[in-house]
Amino acid sequence: MTDTTETLDAIGLLCPLPVLKARKRLKPLTIGSILEVHADDPAAVVDIPHFCQEAGHELVEIRDNSAHQVYLIRKGG
């Protein structure tokens, strides 16, 4: 199990807000920190992995709960 540094509740937010809020929340974290993002926007399944790839962060895990997804993002350098 991965230790979460911060949690972002993006449930109810639509594209591009989950990614924009994740970017803002990751900024002050130290490299290697984990941000746990909860989102129910259907576009987040594409947007968050793309954001991680473009920004140099690692998408550690995607979990699908009944009502939303949980993304674990490790801050990159």
| From 11, 15, 20, 45, active-site residue | 15
For 76, the 3-state DSSP assignment is: coil
DSSP characters over 17-66: HHHHHHHHHHTTSPTT-EEEEEE--TTHHHHHHHHHHHHT-EEEEEEE-S
Residue 52 known to be catalytic: no
Distance, CA of 77 to CA of 11 (rounded, Å): 27
Residues serving a catalytic function are 15
